[in-house]
Structure 1
């Protein structure tokens, strides 16, 4: 959950169409037409009528199914009789559905009906494609007329004929050689009709929800508007496992660290059961129940559009879990938590007999079998940090989406900074690249130099470096050399690749990486194989709160007698104001701008004004300490203040 990837957009035939009332969803067997129409029908309500299988409109259709129907279709029926029946069924279906206003969507339009006829004739009579097409065209003219209207048609393609036929056959529980040959001929006949369709959706390249949303987008172009499914949902993590395996702990950790919304699968099932009058919802087919759960998740997400990521506990039924995965694809990560029985017994708040009973119930549902098909299996027998690290890897590591855009590259000598600091940045980058070679992953000039607000007399060179693990000794040697030669004070933060990928960093570094991804600063080096995760979302807000707490601590220390430089105290005061402004949704980096905005957004006549850099130069240690004390006192009052009562 790589992460959820956008599916390829639909291909649309050029040219404007008048608004049709009849739409055909075409495609070979097992391309997903019926599933897509079910999802669409539930979302569109009475606005759309779905035209299903042709045999429902044919009283003379044989009352057969399964192997008996296949034997009649391919062996007993005459080719012309079969073709006439199929086309007559299409005509009667149109007559039955188009007699009143509204939208009609056909499960298999004329292109698919004709392709099925052609493939059947070729297989039954061993005819060439040309002869089969001629027979079908002749019967079509008799049954439908030469000028039979074409529906607006969308094709669900499974790829080239050979690959598509293999997919169709592979999705059957039982398929013999004759059926496989029929699918090859059907896919080929559909391919020859590809140009007749007004849109083609590559259904083999997307999950079911992705295809559904492409279909809805395509229908909107001709006037049928249905809201995209799960449009506001970015990611879902499904949690499975036996009792006391850690599902709730995992869900709560993901909520606190990544801002996910916790939902119970049983809650969604209960909503679906109440909506559809299902007394025993778990007795329904897993495919249908999964679709109903999906509908309820969609309704919840629409009502809470500001929520993006979800966890669903507890996945206990492998069939339902499998169908949810088919629907959501990579947007759903199925995580199974396992733990040794003695460990689960120690964690349990119920007695051993009750725990054993709970396990019996879950095992009867097949809960343990989810471990064999999950996206991530976590052994949660060890200490809690092991679980949290595994979840971090899931959310920010190889299974997660990388950042939407790559950081911009700014050469050191092109930084908006005093010349001495630009030269120092260039020398530092060159020296560290020479020392580490390919083990250097990231080099970012941060702080005032990176933001373009550096002071030639006051500013240090602050650098964030990303490296492979095991580089500390080589990096230490190079830093010792640089600090004797640069002529400026060099401060460096070092993170390994996995600390970067897992976002395991302090609040100040998190802020730097967020600024890098938002283009507020550039990086001077980025390895081609390093894809940074997003440094944003709920975690950024928490990091800002932590950063503010840290700066208040840094202000208080020198006021309590801890030795601190005058400039360090001044920067702590600036950073405290800057973090509160960030929590208010405002970003400033230049000291005078921070001070002015702080006074405007948080006015207090009794609080000292934070000086600009030029004003700071004229102030002594005691004057800076007085400003710091005034600002700290204001923060203490601000944090302690009770809400203003309503009058």
Structure 2
């Protein structure tokens, strides 16, 4: 019976001298490479046995040959990775006069792996044929000798008494296959960002961020190339020409895109081979953006834990492949803060574009005359600022025609080049003072610098406002040359659960804190909860339709029985029937909060 898992590979004891010097990260890579090599040898043994069975038909033999070629390719890949880890992690550089060992380190480990498997299968055979039993002791002796030889080699490598040869295999079989025509990006293939750079530059950190915050699908370039080669029956894709490698990569990306048409961004990490990525760029054009993550050596050394020799060796391996020569469309400086890195990545994932926003003069707003005049003066002040690329927009009832005097606030969004400069803040203070003088109108102003807007480091409500502006809601000012991010409804909806949680917490506090349960804030937060609950379902509603639509769409909620808005406004402004109106609002709020609690518990 063939075991699913291979027998254990004992290598810690003979390699103790070497393993003790490997940093934690390199030890993990070493263990992964050895484990992968041993598992592959285990599967390879089974595959080779599969084509030796009696009366095997030609189709089965051909399929088995393809599997064997693929496993041999994996075997080479793990072996070369093992040699790279040893070269990068060994702290002592051997003298050029040190004797050269006959084979790379991985070959000895590979031989130990195969011998351990041979012992396992010899024991199985001996159980059925006693004549095989004498071989068991001889194979055990071979394992003992290999342990001793590996221990000696390990000590000699650590002390620099022996040099190791280049472990690259340069396999050639299966390389004569050529595509009839060069592939082209298919219509379903989304933008692709290829991340390159030297060791410890932050490629993986960048890929993780783009996956988490931008919904990108992450791939390692080696995985894509290996998968594509396996489909073609190629044993070693790295022996192929750069253009052939690029064709295989694009074919694999096209296959994935056809099967996942909802994916909007793909990242490829560990781009080290300059010629291959240049060839891929020639095939994909602007669909591919090659990004070089640049970090000075001293910063990378500090981030890696301070093992200079290990980092230099890893850099040598990558630069030998051309990692420092990749044809980058963008160079991303990652020597600063994580915030700076994330901002750069957001720009790459969704570059800001010149704003195409409809504008209207403040005089056309359906607002009281004094409010229109104050708003007009604010727009004039901001548009007169030198070198300012401003966006000024009102949101909510002030712009959608639902203004109620004595009830509505003025909510304003301003995005300016200089952010919170003295002149911008002075204009805002004058506007706020004028509104207060117009019957105590409150100004809710959100003032942001362009740099924060361009990287979409914004509250969910501001993202929603930008969506509305991009979909036709008018602004009061959109300066020439202003570049804003393209924000999708999907992005806003993705951030809605967090915004909803904050709104629920605030509503509970308003409902239960003494002195805070007033008509206006409770009613407005009830409407806000309904808007967010609908948006979570990709339903965007504004104005008087929000609460009725929530009652209709939220299963099991039932009627909220709110008084007409005119009665609510009258209770707020003049205390007319205040107790009854407030009681109805509190009942509706309690019903909605209880419903939300039940949905979360489900």
CA-CA distance at 1:478 after TM superposition? 2.4
CA 1:439/1:355 → structure 2, altered by over 3 Å: closer, same or farther?
Answer: closer
Q: Aligned ranges for residues 439-450 of structure 1 at < 5 Å? A: 439=388, 441-450=390-399
In the alignment, which residue of structure 2 is the partner of 1:616? 568
CA-CA distance at 1:346 after TM superposition? 5.5
Aligned residues: 407
Structure 1 contact 315–367 (Cα < 8 Å) conserved: yes
In the alignment, which residue of structure 2 is the partner of 1:500? 453
Structure 1 contact 258–538 (Cα < 8 Å) conserved: no
CA 1:473/1:419 → structure 2, altered by over 3 Å: closer, same or farther?
Answer: same
CA-CA distance at 1:327 after TM superposition? 2.0
CA 1:304/1:491 → structure 2, altered by over 3 Å: closer, same or farther?
Answer: same
Identify the match of residue 268 of structure 2 among 312, 335, 341.
Answer: 312
> Is the partner of 2:353 in helix, strand or coil?
coil
CA-CA distance at 1:304 after TM superposition? 0.6
Structure 1 contact 441–465 (Cα < 8 Å) conserved: yes
In the alignment, which residue of structure 2 is the partner of 1:481? 430
> Is the partner of 1:603 in helix, strand or coil?
coil
Structure 1 contact 407–522 (Cα < 8 Å) conserved: yes
Q: Aligned ranges for residues 137-152 of structure 1 at < 5 Å? A: none
CA-CA distance at 1:253 after TM superposition? 0.7
In the alignment, which residue of structure 1 is the partner of 2:527? 574
CA-CA distance at 1:467 after TM superposition? 1.3
Q: Aligned ranges for residues 203-282 of structure 1 at < 5 Å? A: 229-282=185-238
In the alignment, which residue of structure 1 is the partner of 2:353? 402
User: Structure 1 regions of 5+ residues with no counterpart?
Assistant: 1-211, 214-227, 642-647
CA-CA distance at 1:609 after TM superposition? 4.3
In the alignment, which residue of structure 2 is the partner of 1:334? 290
In the alignment, which residue of structure 1 is the partner of 2:117? none
Q: Deviations over 1:470-511 (max 9, x none)?
A: 653222322333333341332211111212222222111111
In the alignment, which residue of structure 1 is the partner of 2:597? 636
Q: Deviations over 1:424-451 (max 9, x none)?
A: 43343234435x3552511111111222
CA 1:347/1:290 → structure 2, altered by over 3 Å: closer, same or farther?
Answer: same
CA distance in 2, matches of 1:288, 1:537: 40
Q: Aligned ranges for residues 120-135 of structure 1 at < 5 Å? A: none
> Is the partner of 2:331 in helix, strand or coil?
strand
Structure 1 contact 500–532 (Cα < 8 Å) conserved: yes
Asked if 1:546 corresponds to 2:501, the answer is no
> Is the partner of 1:439 in helix, strand or coil?
coil
Structure 2 contact 243–276 (Cα < 8 Å) conserved: yes
In the alignment, which residue of structure 1 is the partner of 2:488? 536
CA 1:492/1:285 → structure 2, altered by over 3 Å: closer, same or farther?
Answer: same
Identify the match of residue 386 of structure 1 among 336, 340, 361.
Answer: 340
- The Cα RMSD (Å) is 2.9
Asked if 1:627 corresponds to 2:579, the answer is no
In the alignment, which residue of structure 1 is the partner of 2:418? 469
CA distance in 2, matches of 1:390, 1:238: 14
Which deviates more from structure 2 when the two are superposed, residues 624-633 or residues 323-332? 624-633
CA-CA distance at 1:418 after TM superposition? 5.6
In the alignment, which residue of structure 1 is the partner of 2:551? 599
Q: Deviations over 1:590-616 (max 9, x none)?
A: 23x111111111133577445552353
Structure 2 contact 388–479 (Cα < 8 Å) conserved: no
Structure 1 contact 443–523 (Cα < 8 Å) conserved: yes
> Is the partner of 1:244 in helix, strand or coil?
coil
Q: Tell me the TM-score normalized by structure 1.
A: 0.58
In the alignment, which residue of structure 1 is the partner of 2:45? none
Q: Aligned ranges for residues 51-450 of structure 1 at < 5 Å? A: 229-341=185-297, 343-344=299-300, 347-348=303-304, 358-370=314-326, 373-396=327-350, 400=351, 402=353, 406-417=356-367, 421-434=371-384, 436=385, 438-439=387-388, 441-450=390-399
CA distance in 2, matches of 1:471, 1:465: 10
Structure 1 contact 337–378 (Cα < 8 Å) conserved: yes
Structure 2 contact 196–291 (Cα < 8 Å) conserved: yes
Q: Deviations over 1:228-271 (max 9, x none)?
A: 83312342110012333211110111122222221221122122
CA distance in 1, matches of 2:514, 2:312: 58
Structure 1 contact 261–307 (Cα < 8 Å) conserved: yes
CA 1:264/1:596 → structure 2, altered by over 3 Å: closer, same or farther?
Answer: same
User: Structure 2 regions of 5+ residues with no counterpart?
Assistant: 1-181, 572-577
CA distance in 2, matches of 1:368, 1:479: 49
CA 1:476/1:562 → structure 2, altered by over 3 Å: closer, same or farther?
Answer: farther
> Is the partner of 1:491 in helix, strand or coil?
strand
Identify the match of residue 404 of structure 2 among 443, 451, 455.
Answer: 455
CA 1:492/1:605 → structure 2, altered by over 3 Å: closer, same or farther?
Answer: closer
Q: Deviations over 1:509-539 (max 9, x none)?
A: 11111111111x2111111111322111653
Which deviates more from structure 2 when the two are superposed, residues 348-357 or residues 291-300? 348-357
Which deviates more from structure 2 when the two are superposed, residues 593-602 or residues 416-425? 416-425
Structure 2 contact 551–557 (Cα < 8 Å) conserved: no
CA-CA distance at 1:549 after TM superposition? 2.1
Structure 1 contact 425–461 (Cα < 8 Å) conserved: no
CA-CA distance at 1:284 after TM superposition? 1.3
CA distance in 2, matches of 1:611, 1:391: 48
In the alignment, which residue of structure 2 is the partner of 1:23? none
